[in-house]
Structure 1
Amino acid sequence: MGALLSRDLRLAMRAGGGFGLGLAFFLLLAVLVPLGVGPEGGTLGRIAPGILWVGALLACLLSLDRIFALDFEDGSLDLLATSPMPLEAVVAVKALAHWMVTGVPLTLVAPVLGVLLNLPVEGYGWLVLSLALGTPALSVIGAFGAALVVGVKRGGLLLSLLVLPLYVPTLIFGAEVVKRGAAGLEVAVPLLLLAGITLAAGALLPFAAAAAIRINLR
């Protein structure tokens, strides 16, 4: 499992489709929104939680089609499916690699972009915490969606249509955590719901994704 994780991380960095592309998109969104909305600090501060979470979500979405597509094209996925390692573990490792390449950098850079959007100081800690809890769910759900479209030519658009509705609860509760934290309100309920989504996705979706891959490889 360690060797597979190391291999996927190296491939993601070499391909340039995860780390650099996601961060560039996140930065562009944070720069363009103030230009379109206007420099009024109060308005930016109110919409900052939602904008930052939408940006993180879309940045994760950009590299989802690479999770299994490259392995399918070179035949590695067939070898992984017949290896002693359970296919569910393969899915979990690939989701972890995607999160480490996209979710972790987005979480770390989000407070810096929060400055551009005039996010209240009280919301920075909650922004990092919500992204740290929510981005693993985005990667696992994305891995499930990528498994459904394995072998489909130009399946990126189909993947987006499949995954985006599943991302909505994570987006809602993640943005709500930041919004309430910035306003000094109680955040326990949305925070627990966000953590519950991540735990449920991590426990269930690797099995569903592995089943989808087996069907697509037949």
Structure 2
Amino acid sequence: MQNNWYLIESVPLGKHKLKSQFQNKSGRFLFCLDVGGSKTRGALFDSEGKELARASAAGGALSLGVECSRNALVEVWNKLCEVAPEAGPSVANTELWAGIAGLSLPGAVEQLALELSNFATTNFVNDGYGALLGATGGGPGALISVGTGVVALRLDRAGRCLTLGGWGQPAGDIGGGAWLGREVLSHLFKQLDGVETALPIPDVRVQGILQITGGS
């Protein structure tokens, strides 16, 4: 079977180029985020690249709505400021960099950037691409990211990023958390209806799932 890789980014990043550029901005802070469908994680760095604090919130993917994304990012920001108040971060002296799921939704990221425009800068990339840069430092490499969804990415020596998968729910992202949950429920419903299934679920698991979902 032939795999077709799709070019999603073309950014000539040398290794650690972003880090070296930011280190020239004395007095600035860097607010970095990984925004997915299930969880939002963020960290605060000073201009020397020293990590000051970490925090998390619920999922804030753009597929959940711009308001949800904004609320998740603001919640993480407020938590970070509470942990490291002595450092003096403020939206005016902080650059926001986020890898966010659902970036391709028309108009969504533009609206989010507008609502967060009080930050010194707002910079958004696809969450998979952001994870790839974090893993490779901007150099050639590959990554398979498995979370709520699934995507494989490869960064070549020319700075081009090629991707496989990551199409989103409900048709894509086979093997991701959302897909696994949907498959479990599909087999559960068949079993409850008496339909034969190749993957029977033990009764104790059935009761556990029903308890969590509020079924009977």
Question: TM-score scaled by structure 1?
Answer: 0.29
Of Structure 1 and Structure 2, which has the larger fraction of its residues in helix?
1
**Which of the pair has more CA radius of gyration?**
2
More strand by share: 2
Larger relative contact order (CA 8 Å, sep ≥ 6): 1
